[in-house]
Amino acid sequence: MKMTIGEVAQAINANTENFDKAMLDESLTGVCFDSRKIQTGQLFVPLVAEHDGHDYIDNAIAGGASATLWASDHADRLPLTIPALVVDDPLTAFQQLSKYYLDKINPRVIAVTGSNGKTTTKDMIAAILSSTFNVTKTQDNFNNEIGLPYTILQMESNTEFLVAEMGMDRPGQLDFLSKLARPDVAVITMIGEAHIEFFGTRDKIADAKMEITHGLKADGFFVYDGDEPLLTERAQQVDESVIKSTFGRKDSNDVFATDSKDGQYQTQFHVNLWPEIDFTIPMIGDYNVNNALAAISVGRIFRIYPQMMADKLAKFDLTKNRTQWLSGSKGERILSDVYNSNPTAAKEVLTAFKNTTTKGRRIAVLGDMLELGTQSKAMHASLADALDPASIRVVYLIGADMDALYEKLKPVYAPENLHYYQADQLDELTSDLQAELRADDEVLLKASHGLHLENVVAKLVK
């Protein structure tokens, strides 16, 4: 983002009476809402949540902030050394500024959501489009009401495509995000159990996911899993001017895989439209083929050459801790998939993991899957179907609801190969796991982010 203070003030209708108007011509180089990460020349956005961002203005100024948004109800303590753009609510102004900047740069917008696979699909789409266009994509987990405006405002002026991941944990959230970004293409990867605590049923999750089409441009495209009845039913309600494109495994889809083959660290497949081309993705799991099919569907819309899509998918940049292979300090292979988890995703990665080739043992470390509501215990116990001592020798479980799986596995696993820890025993789990691992072993770590298994991964790879 490169704008003057005056342009920002005008875009958000801010009050600028508290500072010298000559400062309106000064340039801003970006935005930041974390005073610890502010860089010289940026606009500080003091958000109010668990902490009040206004309390950290001195840190932001010391870090190099050139200006700040400022809530009108905090006017009694305006900063004196940098311009303060006074608004009713900094978050609303932040979102308004992102909408202005999006209109100014005017890229084509690809919006991606889904219960599983949205980050991987976003990464794949960005890789495919980058073969021909200048692309900005969502980084890390910036996929909500704060993250989407931040992503938009990170765009360089030459951005031609914005690939925006959109998360959801309540009704109405995707409606807001979609209307903010006004996508040219909306993608739904699949419907699972993620956030079922807040929605109750998969039907209601599907209703909420469909909100991503609410801001879709009239001449836009809706790309979705054609094997999912909940989506095919609801797709009929989308405006007739929107072009619909389906992907999946059934030959009734517009884009479907004709076969797939899991390798040790990659998956190969073919696509109905170009049977002569070999597609490869650098990650295991047949379920990831569907994510690739969604990305290929988007590439097809924008006429990317099929071989070029295959080349990009073979080496795309995967976001950290999403089915990521790493080398451990003892030589063991680590499959890190610790950003999030739900029953569908956990079963899929367990199935892929137990089909790998290894000279040593397969060890699974599984943490609680959050936001599953009253069905949580039963859903955790259901993972037992994907675990057996013949293929996954040792199991480590952590978290309150993983107790249900522990009880289910007790008759199946020898006591020395089945371990259970409370959520606050992460250090004990790490120490025990480090003592257990051998050079030829493979270890899978999978949990919702709230369990912080990424800290275990960090210690294993040291």
Binding-site residue ranges: 114-120
Tokens describing residue 95: 């979102």
* Cβ-proximal residues to 132 (8 Å cutoff; 6+ apart), any chain: 302, 304, 308
Residues 188, 133 contacting (CB under 8 angstroms): no
Residue 195 sits at the vertex; the CA angle it makes with 193 and 196, to the nearest 5 degrees, is: 55
Partners of 82 in the β-ladder: none
Distance between the two ends of the chain, CA-based, in angstroms?
37
Residues 79, 65 contacting (CB under 8 angstroms): no
- Distances in whole angstroms, Cα of residue 368 to Cα of each of 321, 346, 403: 16, 11, 9
Residue 189 sits at the vertex; the CA angle it makes with 187 and 195, to the nearest 5 degrees, is: 110
Which residue in the block uniquely carries the two structure tokens 């005008």?
A: 10
Sign of CA dihedral 418, 424, 429, 431: negative
Which residue in the block uniquely carries the two structure tokens 């266009």?
A: 133
Per DSSP, the three-state class of 140 is coil
Which residue in the block uniquely carries the two structure tokens 């909306």?
A: 186
Query: φ and ψ at 15, to 5 degrees?
Result: -85, 125
Q: Tell me, what amino acid is at 287? A: Y
Nearest partner of 352 among 235, 360, 344, 225, judged by Cα: 344
* Cβ-proximal residues to 413 (8 Å cutoff; 6+ apart), any chain: 389, 395
Positions of E strands within 338-436: 362-367, 394-398, 418-421
Q: Which residues are annotated as a binding site for ATP?
A: 114-120
Tokens describing residue 171: 């009704």
Q: Tell me, what amino acid is at 384? A: A
Residues 78, 70 contacting (CB under 8 angstroms): yes
* Beta-carbon count within 10 A of 73 CB: 11
